[in-house]
Amino acid sequence: MAELGSSAKEIISLLPQSPSRSGRALSDHLESGRWLQRYVEAQCCIASNDYKGGLEIFSDILQRFQNNVHILLEVAKVEAIVGKNDEAILNFEKARSLDPYVVTYMDEYAMLLKKKSEYPKLNKLVHDLLNIDATKPEVFVALSVFWERKDERGALSYAEKSIQIDERHVSGYIMKGNLLLSLNRPDAAAVAFRNAQELNPDLRSYQGLVHSYLAISKAKKFYESALRLEPGYLGAALALAELHVVEGRNGEAVSLLERYLKDWADDSLHVKLAQVFAATNMLQEALSHYQAALRINSQSEAAKKGLDRLEKLMKGVDPDAPEEDEDNEVEGDQEETELL
């Protein structure tokens, strides 16, 4: 409710009121009620990006409930967001010492360990998480963090898997955006960071968007210059069209690509046009271009996948819904062997 904009007062008013009590019972009830109100206030502060206020309240609650794993995790997460990395790591470690089976926010802990180059600890953390519950999105984000140093594309697939499991898992989008920036794909990175921001805006999603848009701006100038020097450079045209789409200028993207249709019989050109039309819900036009791409190149994987997704959309089926097959099963033992 805090994330939806409800005030602390509104949320507190919805909490169940206990019948009147006397003596010690009344005192205990008032005491627990006060701390519950403080907890609600802290969550409202965080939801409104008042991290300092939220952290102060959570720290106050933590003084009263020093070994409460949930509060420790909440404090550590906010500390990680505002850059208090050492303090966050200590609180994550304390939470794990109190509850070795905790999974909540452990992907945030993994990111901190990577930032501090604490690779042995990161290795152990991921190994433990796989043994605890290898189906949680936090585990796949942690795997993504672990593999980033060795295989960025493999790490990206883990980040995407976390989002498939839970499409509202913010740290999955943050990790995906950072990896896409590293892979020099700022347009796709901007989409990932925007998804994170829409779910729960924080400093990391804002920073990611800034870096993405700066990279897109530089890329746009480069592609425009390339096309001025060599108007027939199809690769630059396709990339520039993608940037137009990211910035919401779908009409400009279509106009640019259609100019090249006169001189180029290229499957990637038709695929890109199909993607733009599909994004603007012009499904019949998208279908036509996917089919044209496959006539030119019957082995085009991009056209095959795009057409499969489009056909699901046209049937009213969610193309992103996970399929019940063996691919969704996690090979925990194999992952552990790789990590060790």
Token pair for 32: 């627990």
Q: What 3-state class would DSSP assign to 116? A: coil
Residue with the larger pLDDT of the pair 296 and 47: 296
**pLDDT exceeds 80 at position 322:** no
Residues 272 and 235: their CA atoms lie apart, in Å, by 11
pLDDT-based confidence at residue 105 (cuts at 50, 70, 90) = very high
Residue with the larger pLDDT of the pair 257 and 326: 257
Q: What is the mean pLDDT of residues 195-214?
A: 87
What is the residue type of 333? D
User: CB atoms < 10 A from the CB of 220, how many?
Assistant: 18
In sequence order, what are the residues at sequence separation of 6 or more whose Cβ sits closer than 8 angstroms to the Cβ of residue 56? none
- What are the extents of the domains in the chain? 1-66
Please provide the average confidence, as pLDDT, over all residues in the chain. Answer: 84
pLDDT-based confidence at residue 317 (cuts at 50, 70, 90) = confident
Q: What is the structure's pLDDT at 321?
A: 67
Residues 6 and 196: their CA atoms lie apart, in Å, by 20
- Main-chain dihedrals φ then ψ at residue 5, nearest 5 degrees: 100, 5
